[in-house]
């Protein structure tokens, strides 16, 4: 092949490639026209729901026994015996600890002996007084008839008065020894540290062999735990709002009885028993601006114990006709809240709204939306004001995936 033929060959090849390129360029746009870069993105939307919703209050609560009784020593002595299992249920009057009773028994025996002596002295004094009284009776008529001297009568009267005084002294001694015996019996009884109430007995703070005195502190404690008491604090504004709704004492008590308390335990589970309102404290805490409230919860099996923490929840109001949207449909931006509203032409408007209380996984919208409007619940990051979207029901995309 000569040079001229090669030249024509290269020219023809280049022209063919140019024609092929023009054909492909003409065909490609028609195939790409079905998926332009500005296609409407898929989003999931939900309608603004309107219904009456309960408003919940939630507070941190502290569990406590309905009655907590501290057991302390009231006499001095050594602990000889522990009569209960720590953490077990005890009955009122059950022995918890025994203090050495021997010194107190000795004091009681001595007091009873002194009392017996005083009673014997009284009997002797009464016998003497009986004789002196007879002398007065015998000498009185004799002195009138001058058969006995006036001095004899006067002596008999004086002896009788002295005998009467001796009798009264003996009676006073008996009362004193009676009191001593009673005190000794009480102190002997104090050597038995018993449960003052039915309940759960706590850990022993002192052990067998320890010397206890009235100033040695708590030996153990017993708590009534069924029902168990829960303390929680409510802010003063919330308390005042409650009292405005129920201004009279009668209406407030009725509302308190109708209040159903729920307990969220430390592991996140909900306690199966409902609680009731018990009382509100007499004053607002000056440092926290909150008032202390107590509720009662049934506690069969003593599952709940004093000192535990839990969340207390209760329906404190009902908001009629509240507007609800999923919380994920609301975006927070610089302290404000926004939602993406989709109109009838599937165009988006970013709108500022005001939110109220959360209800489950939803927000109550107090301003900025109307019932029935559609808001973007999934895909808010894809949209902007004026953009057209391809709306799908909220949750449908999740099911498809």
Given this model, what pLDDT does residue 12 score?
Answer: 57
pLDDT, tens digit, for every residue of 225-279?
989 999 999 888 888 888 888 888 888 888 888 888 999 998 889 999 999 999 8
**Which residue has 């501290």 as its token pair?**
70
pLDDT of residue 32: 38
Going by the DSSP 8-state scheme, the letter that residue 19 receives in this structure is H
CA–CA separation, 69 and 192 (whole Å):
16
Neighbouring CB atoms inside 10 A of 144's CB total 11
Phi, psi dihedrals of residue 196, rounded to the nearest 5°: -80, -20
Express each pLDDT in 165-192 by its tens digit.
988 888 899 999 999 999 999 999 999 9
Report the distance separating Cα 187 and Cα 192, nearest Å.
Answer: 9
Model pLDDT, residue 23: 53
Ranges of residues in the chain with a pLDDT under 50 are 1, 3-4, 27-35, 397-401
pLDDT on residue 231:
94
**How far is the C-alpha of 274 from the C-alpha of 262, rounded, in Å?**
6
Q: Are 188 and 98 in contact (CB under 8 A)?
A: no
pLDDT of residue 5: 54
243: helix, strand or coil: helix
The per-residue pLDDT for 122 is: 85
d(CA 137, CA 135): 5
Identify the DSSP state of 329: G
């Amino acid at each position: 092949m000569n040079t001229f033929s090669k030249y024509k060959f290269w020219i023809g090849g280049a022209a063919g490639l140019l024609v092929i390129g023009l054909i492909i360029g003409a065909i490609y746009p028609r195939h790409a026209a079905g998926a332009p870069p500005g296609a409407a993105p898929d989003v999931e939307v939900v309608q603004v729901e309107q219904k009456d919703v309960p408003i919940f209050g939630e507070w941190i609560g502290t569990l406590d026994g309905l009655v907590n009784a501290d057991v302390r020593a009231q006499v001095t002595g050594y602990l000889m015996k522990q009569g209960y299992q720590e953490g077990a249920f005890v009955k009122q009057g059950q022995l918890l600890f025994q203090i050495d009773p021997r010194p107190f028994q000795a004091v009681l025996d001595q007091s009873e002996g002194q009392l017996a002596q005083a009673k014997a002295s009284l009997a002797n004094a009464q016998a003497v007084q009986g004789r002196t009284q007879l002398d007065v009776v015998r000498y009185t008529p004799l002195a009138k008839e001058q058969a006995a001297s006036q001095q004899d009568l006067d002596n008999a009267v004086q002896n009788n008065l002295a005998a009467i005084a001796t009798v009264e002294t003996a009676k006073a001694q008996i009362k004193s020894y009676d009191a001593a015996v009673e005190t000794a019996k009480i102190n002997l009884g104090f050597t038995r540290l018993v449960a003052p109430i039915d309940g759960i007995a706590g850990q022993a703070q002192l052990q067998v062999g320890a010397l206890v005195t009235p100033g040695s502190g708590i030996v153990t404690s017993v708590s009534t735990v069924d029902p168990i008491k829960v303390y929680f604090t409510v802010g003063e504004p919330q308390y005042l709002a409650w009292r405005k709704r129920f201004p009279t004492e009668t209406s407030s008590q009725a509302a308190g009885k109708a209040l159903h308390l729920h307990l969220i335990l430390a592991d996140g589970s909900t306690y199966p028993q409902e609680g009731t309102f018990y009382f509100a404290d007499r004053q607002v805490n000056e440092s926290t601006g909150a008032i202390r409230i107590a509720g009662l919860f049934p506690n069969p099996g003593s599952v709940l114990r004093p000192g535990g923490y839990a969340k207390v929840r209760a329906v404190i109001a009902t908001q009629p006709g509240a507007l609800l949207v999923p919380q994920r449909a609301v975006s927070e931006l610089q302290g404000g809240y926004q939602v993406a509203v989709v109109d009838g032409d599937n165009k988006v408007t970013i709108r500022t709204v005001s939110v109220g209380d959360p209800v489950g996984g939803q927000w109550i919208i107090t301003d900025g939306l109307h019932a029935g409007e559609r808001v973007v619940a999934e895909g808010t990051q894809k949209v902007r004001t004026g953009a057209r979207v391809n709306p799908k029901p909220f949750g449908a995309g999740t099911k498809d995936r």
